[in-house]
Amino acid sequence: MAQTDEIAQYRALVAKLNGWRKAYYTEDAPSVTDHEYDQAYQALLALEAKDPSLVTPDSPSQLVGDAVSPDFTKVPHAVPMLSMGDVFSLEELEDWAARLAAGVGRPVAYNVELKIDGLSLSLVYEKGRLVQGSTRGDGSVGEDVTANVRTIPDIPQTLPEPLDLEVRGECYMPKKAFAALNAAREAAGEPPFANPRNAAAGSLRQLDVAVTKQRSLATFLYTVVDPERYGLTTQHEALAFMQRLGFATNPTSVVAADLHTIDTYITTQTADRDALAYGIDGIVVKVNDLALQAELGNTVKVPRWEIAYKFPPEEAETQVLDIEWTIGRTGVVTPTAVMTPVLLAGTTVARATLHNVDMLAAKDIRIGDTVRLHKAGDIIPEVSSVVMAKRPATSVKAPVPSACPSCGEPLVHLDDEVALRCVNPRCPAQVQEQLTHFASRNAMNIDGLGPKIIAQLLERKLVADVAGLYRLTADTLATLDKFKEKSVNNLLKAIDLSRQNSVERLLFGLGIRHVGGKAAASLAAHFGDLDHLAQADAETIAAVAGIGPTIAEAVTTYFQNPGAQVLIEELRAAGVNLTYRGAGPVATTGPFAGLTVVITGTFADYTRPALTALLKAQGAKITGSVSKRTDLVVAGEAAGSKLTRAQELGVTVMDQAALRQALAEKPKENDE
C-alpha cells in the first residue's frame, strides 16, 4: 500500500495534470508546453506502475480527451475514439515493437504515418451523403460539429458511391493560416492561440459557423471504421480506399517490414518537418494488418497495435537584450524581445513577440534574462520560460509604456482586452489601414481609392488622416504615378459623392473597435447624428438595442480622445455629412413599387449602393440574378451577361436615360 506522502504526491500530480488537460482540451488554451506535460505524465505512469493501488478513476491515465462542452449536442461513439500511447526515443520504439512481435509470435509489418498536430474528427455518411461530424470528446461521447464540418473545403459532402461509412482522422490548421490568424487576433487585441492544434480546435468548436468557415481548416483522414465491410485487409489499403472516395489522406505514409525502414522514415520526416505546410508533432507506427489490429485490441485508453513516437522538444537558450514596444496597424501595442541571435528549427532567431502586457508579467521576462525559445506551430518564435537559475542580479523589468510609441497619445487598456491600445485616429502607424478601411465599399465607398493609391498619398505626405482625403485637388493627384486626367477626375468625383453618405457609413468607416456596419446603423438611427452620439455616456449607448457595454465602452473611449475630436471637426469643415439620413419610408406606389429588380453595369449618376438604396426606397425588391421571376433589369454601361440573360427571357430592361426619367429627379447619391 502507498504511504501517506506518496498518496499526497500522486493526488497533487493528478490535479496538476487534469488542470493542464482542461486548459488544452476544453479551453483550447494550453498553459504548459507539450514537453512539460509529457514529463509530468510519465512521472504519473511511473508512480502507478510502482503501486497500482494509487490509480484513481480521474487519473489522466484512465481518461481520453476531456469533457464534452454543454454548448454542443452529444454524439455517442459506437466504436470509442481512443488516444495513443507515446514513446520518446528510438530505443523505446524498438522495445515496443519487440514486445508486440514476441506476443504475436511472428514478424509484423507496420504502416508508418505522420502525427498531424490537430484534433480528432469523425465523419459519418449515409448512402454516400455526409450526415454527421463529431469531435472525439471523452472518447465515448463527442460533440456534434456537423454544421462546422460542412464549411471545410476538403471534406466531401457526397461520395462517388452510395456508401454507409464512418471515417476518422485529424482536423488541422495549416501553418500559413495559423500565422495569419494569430496576427489578426493580436492586431485586434485578442490573445493568440498557442499552437495550430488549439487554433484548429478553437475554430472547429465554434458556435458561429461563419467563424469556422473563415479559419482555413483542413483534414487528413486515416481510419475506416468497420473496414472488413468494404473488403479492406490492411491500413495501407484503407488509406487508398479513402483517397479514391475523395478524402484527403497524407501522402507520406509507407509500409515498413522492419525497424530500419521505420528509423529511416523518422530521420527523413524529422529533417523535412520545418518545410511542411502543416504542423506535425511525431510519427505514428501502426500494425498494417487490420485483422491483427482487431486481435490485439485496446487497453482502457489506447490501442495496443499503434504507438506515437513524439519528437523531442526543439528549444534553444538565449539572452534578452532589450524589450521593444511596437504599434500595429490597428493600434495594439506589443512587447517584443530583442535577443542574442540563436539557431532554432533551421533559422536564426533574434526577436520574439511577447504578445501582451499580461503575458510579459505572467512569464516574468526581464531584460538580461536567459530564456528558452521554441517555435509555436513550427513557425513563430516564442519564449517558453525564463531560466531562473541563470537570472543575473542586474536583470530589470521592462517599463510598460503609458504613451503610444508612434504618436505619444495615452494608451488605453479596454476591459475586454489583454492588449494595450492607441485609439488616436491620427496615429501615423495606423493611418494607412484606416484610410483603406475608410474608403472601402461598406464604409464611405470611395471608388478607385485602393491600397496602392493610399500608399502613394502617404509616402508623398499628401494626406495625414481620413479628413485629408477631402482636401485633395486635381493638381496634387496629378503627381501620383500613372494617374492621368480621367483617373484624377473619377477619384475626385468619388470623394465628393462620399460627402453625402448617411452618417452610419462614416461611423463604420472611422474604424472604432467593435463597431461594425450593423452597430453603426443602429447607433446612427438612434442618436440621429454624430454629435449626439459623441456626447452620450456609455450607459446611454449600451441601452441601444443590439449594442451593449463592450461597444459602448469602445465608442465613448474613441470620442473622448482629443485626436478623434479634431478629426471630426475637420470632416465637418470638409462638408462631410454627420447626420442620419436613413432609407426613409418605402414607397407603395410608383414605377418600381413591388417589382423584383436586378441592377447591372455602372452608372454615371449613381454609385451601386446609392442606386440600390434608392430603388429599395421606391418599393423595389433587389436581387442578384436574372430569372423568370425578375420584373425589371436596370442596365448601365458594360452590363454584361445579366443583360443578355434578360433579353433571352424577355425581361423588361431600363437604360440610364429611362431610369432618370422614372425617378423624375436626381437622387441623393450614396444615401442609404
Which listed residue (50, 74, 115, 286) is catalytic?
A: 115
How would you label 624-656 residue by residue, b for 16+ Cβ within 10 Å and e otherwise? eebeeebebbbbbeebeebbebbeeeebebbeb
Q: Decide if 250 contacts 198 (C-beta within 8 A).
A: no
Q: Are strands 347-353 and 74-76 parallel, antiparallel or unpaired?
A: unpaired
DSSP annotation of 365: -
DSSP per residue over 262-313, as a string? HHHHHHHHHHHGGGSSS-EEEEEEEESBHHHHHHH-B-SSSBTTEEEEEPPP
CA distance 635 to 654: 6
- CA angle 446–448–449, rounded 5-degree value: 65
Cell numbers placing 222: 486515416
Alpha-carbon torsion angle 552, 558, 562, 568, nearest 10: -100
CA distance 367 to 369: 6
Question: If residue 548 lies in a helix (H) or strand (E), which one and from where to where?
Answer: helix 548-560
Long-range Cβ pairs for the range 563-568 (8 Å, 24+)? 563/407, 563/409, 563/424, 563/425, 563/426, 563/427, 564/423, 564/424, 564/425, 564/510, 565/534, 566/426, 567/425, 567/426, 567/465, 567/466, 567/467, 568/530, 568/534
Residue 527 CA: distances (Å) to CA of 420, 578, 579, 644: 29, 11, 9, 45
* φ and ψ of 94, to 5 deg: -65, -40
DSSP annotation of 144: B
Number of alpha carbons in the 13 Å side-chain half-sphere of residue 133: 23
Cell numbers placing 116: 498531424
Q: Where are the beta strands (DSSP E) in 128-279?
A: 129-135, 141-143, 165-172, 218-224, 254-256
Number of alpha carbons in the 13 Å side-chain half-sphere of residue 281: 18
CA distance 199 to 201: 5
Q: Decide if 161 contacts 173 (C-beta within 8 A).
A: no
Number of H helices, E strands in the chain: 24, 21
Question: If residue 124 lies in a helix (H) or strand (E), which one and from where to where?
Answer: strand 119-126
> How much is the CA Rg of the chain, to the nearest whole Å?
31
Q: Are strands 632-635 and 596-600 parallel, antiparallel or unpaired?
A: parallel
Q: Decide if 308 contacts 400 (C-beta within 8 A).
A: no
Q: Decide if 327 contacts 412 (C-beta within 8 A).
A: no
H/E/C letters for each residue in 250-265?
A: CCCCEEECCHHHHHHH
Taking the CB of residue 528, how many other CB atoms lie within 10 A of it?
A: 15
Taking the CB of residue 550, how many other CB atoms lie within 10 A of it?
A: 15
Residue 77 CA: distances (Å) to CA of 57, 140, 142, 166, 239: 20, 5, 7, 11, 21
Residue 556 CA: distances (Å) to CA of 51, 81, 188, 522, 549: 62, 50, 18, 16, 10
Told to judge if 115 belongs to the known catalytic residues of this protein, a careful annotator would answer yes
Catalytic residues: 115
